[in-house]
Structure 1
Amino acid sequence: MAKPMEPIGARLRATRDLTPDVRLFEIEPDYPSAKVTPGSHIDVLVPIDGRPQLRSYSLVGPGGDGLYRIAVKRVASGRGGSVGMWRLKAGEPLTIFEPRNSFELSYGRPDYLLLAGGIGITPIYTMALALKQTDANFRLLYAARSRSDLALADELARYIGERLQFFVNEEGQRIDIAGEIARLDPRGELYVCGPFGMLEAAKRVWREAGRPAAQLRYETFGNAGKFADAPFRIRIPRLGLEIDVPAHRSLLEALEDAGVDMIFGCRRGECGLCVLPILEASAEVDHRDVFFSGEERATNGKLCTCVSRAASGSLTIDTPDRTRTPRHSRDAPVV
């Protein structure tokens, strides 16, 4: 099983609302890291339903003062992480893990295009500040549903000025992704963080333009999927298991709860480490990953257990794990 690094003690120093549903958290770690680079994130143990659960949040700003800042969008229909974070009060102790970076910014490129949608501005904000400091050639295009949803807008406008352009959906404004990519220097890089639709569109246009895959970097904050979260059941014939997956828990978490030894990494549907094969599905599979292509998702051959789920009914899946340590009485043998 992939595990985070050693836990670090911390406390919540202060909070500040950036928008009606985005809150900035200032976290003071016992041992600040010198390894914070643009695109870094920290894992936080968030109290959800009376138990600590791991959630990842991008770091906002350079953090040179020894504080870690994260921005959390409150999502009532999510898996409880944002609600748990919003319940925290200044002064409360936290358990976090050392910053890591799976969305690294490369320096020295002739041109950069940064695309952000909604709360996806959090890593992009830090990248923009870093590129401005090095006097790089870049543009930041920031889309949101309404003007009140543009978190960090004033700070960005002050720091990077005319390099920044806003796109407000309620005012009929949309980013012309194809046109913007066409303007980018052939040796330039595209960085994207935003909703699933934005990321998929950027990946498709980039591929159709014949641009090198290595010059496209992206991160997602989640895909809500085509269906609302609902409970479903999974069967694992190899292990003789049936496991109920509640609406508020991921398939990966349910497997872990049942003692199935899983391999995982990002928990955001990006890395593919937690992928398992689908043997049979009684309902539509709601793929919410960015690891597979659209064509691969359509085959329903595999799914990312950290984010994808069934719309209802049951899934029969396979796993290389041949042993288990039952943890919950709901586990029952397949009949």
Structure 2
Amino acid sequence: MATSHAAVWQRATVLDTTALTDDIRRIVLAPDHPATVDAGAHIDVRVPIGGVPDRRSYSVVDDGPDGRSLAISVLDSPRSRGGARAMHALRPGDTIEITQPIVDFPLRVGAAHYVLLAGGIGITAVMGMARVLRSVRADYTLVYAGRSRPALAYLEQLQSAHGDRLRLHISDEDTPLDVTELVGGVEPGTELYLCGPIRLMDAVRRAWIERELPYPDLRFETFGNSGWFAPEDFVVRIPRIGAEVTVRATETMLEALEAAEVDLMFDCRKGECGLCEVRVLDLDGDIDHRDVFYSERQKDSRGAMCCCVSRAVAPPGGTAVVTIDIS
């Protein structure tokens, strides 16, 4: 097993929890070992689910002086695998285990222009970037898309801080985001930072490539649990080691294989690095590719998948079975 984030755990005390919307709760934590937080940072949290600690990642929205406290915001959605419900149940005085802030989604200061694009809870990953860009007087636009105004966390705060640099796209107000129009209006020298669901990420990436914009100028972070289909149970078979494992709708393939003591390589757990790739030998059903590692052409293939986020989808009237080989 491999992970680059394994040696930085510490205890943190819950200072405050506040409901921001019907589904999103802000949680303020005081870590035992404070550290300053850079824009784009996240923490990993050990969340007790059914009495068993599991690992979840949450973007750091903001931090207090010298990093003595930090805030995350957690969405509890119907697709939650249990971590969000456990986080929403936290109360002041509770203690949890967290990592030091980790920056896998860094902001590079110095570009000519910036677009920060957030889909729903993805706003938590780019709010800190917007603060930095405002403080250095950069040329930036903050685009915030969601289904309804009451579902948009931090909306009033963002309107106050960023004024006309904030652009809202709200589906139930008939102002949905047009990705082609957005990317079509990107000026040369622009860096676009994006956090949101996989559909938004795929659409932006396709439009970016079609415009032949420099790919290094498109930077993104994914939720890791958003897909094209609702999660469902499926079966994984590994003939080489004689293993057969059922993956429940509430867990990832990687988690199920770990629980069965199958040794796998992995790192990000968010479908970004490709280290957890497994080779698909046979498939009864289809693959719901939830990663951002593969190209569009690779996602059309049924020959491999990132087991940390991607899932199998059942054929009509049946249960999906995916037969894989591992490195």
TM range (shorter): over 0.9
Contact 2:42-2:59 within 8 A present in 1 as well:
yes
2:323 corresponds in structure 1 to: 316
More deviation in 174-183 or 265-274?
A: 174-183
2:2 corresponds in structure 1 to: 2
2:227 corresponds in structure 1 to: 225
Contact 2:170-2:177 within 8 A present in 1 as well:
no
Q: Percent identity?
A: 42
More deviation in 309-318 or 43-52?
A: 309-318
Contact 2:17-2:90 within 8 A present in 1 as well:
no
1:213 corresponds in structure 2 to: 215
Aligned amino acid, residue 325 of structure 2: D
C-alpha separation between the residues in 2 aligned to 1:63 and 1:270? 29
Deviation string, structure 1 residues 72-127 (Cα, Å, up to 9, x no partner)? 00113321111111111111011011111111000011100111110000011111
1:330 corresponds in structure 2 to: none
1:280 corresponds in structure 2 to: 282
1:191 corresponds in structure 2 to: 193
1:71 corresponds in structure 2 to: 73
1:202 corresponds in structure 2 to: 204
Q: 1:1-335 to 2 correspondence within 5 Å? A: 1-3=1-3, 4-34=6-36, 36-64=37-65, 65-311=67-313, 312-320=319-327
SS in 2 for 1:155: helix
**Residue 5 (structure 1) shift:** 2.3
C-alpha separation between the residues in 2 aligned to 1:223 and 1:103? 17
Contact 1:5-1:98 within 8 A present in 2 as well:
no
1:328 corresponds in structure 2 to: none
Deviation string, structure 1 residues 22-80 (Cα, Å, up to 9, x no partner)? 1000010000113x211000000011111110000000025435211100001133211
C-alpha separation between the residues in 2 aligned to 1:193 and 1:184? 17
SS in 2 for 1:115: strand
C-alpha separation between the residues in 1 aligned to 2:30 and 2:2? 26
C-alpha separation between the residues in 2 aligned to 1:241 and 1:195? 32
**RMSD between aligned alpha carbons?**
1.4
Deviation string, structure 1 residues 185-207 (Cα, Å, up to 9, x no partner)? 31110011111111111111111
SS in 2 for 1:101: coil
Deviation string, structure 1 residues 125-155 (Cα, Å, up to 9, x no partner)? 1111110011000001101100001111111
Structure 2, gaps ≥5 residues long: 314-318
Q: 1:298 to 1:12 in 2, by over 3 A?
A: same
**Residue 180 (structure 1) shift:** 2.8
C-alpha separation between the residues in 1 aligned to 2:64 and 2:267? 25
Contact 2:145-2:177 within 8 A present in 1 as well:
yes
Q: What number of residue pairs does the alignment pair up?
A: 319
**Residue 15 (structure 1) shift:** 0.5
C-alpha separation between the residues in 1 aligned to 2:248 and 2:195? 28
SS in 1 for 2:92: coil
Structure 1, gaps ≥5 residues long: 321-335
Taking structure 1 as the reference length, the TM-score comes to 0.92
C-alpha separation between the residues in 1 aligned to 2:209 and 2:63? 32
SS in 1 for 2:195: strand
**Residue 234 (structure 1) shift:** 1.1
C-alpha separation between the residues in 1 aligned to 2:129 and 2:178? 21
SS in 2 for 1:19: coil
**Residue 222 (structure 1) shift:** 3.4
Taking structure 2 as the reference length, the TM-score comes to 0.94
Aligned amino acid, residue 58 of structure 1: S
Contact 2:63-2:69 within 8 A present in 1 as well:
no
SS in 1 for 2:73: strand
Contact 1:17-1:23 within 8 A present in 2 as well:
yes
C-alpha separation between the residues in 2 aligned to 1:197 and 1:247? 20
More deviation in 108-117 or 257-266?
A: 257-266
Contact 1:110-1:185 within 8 A present in 2 as well:
no
Q: 1:316 to 1:114 in 2, by over 3 A?
A: same
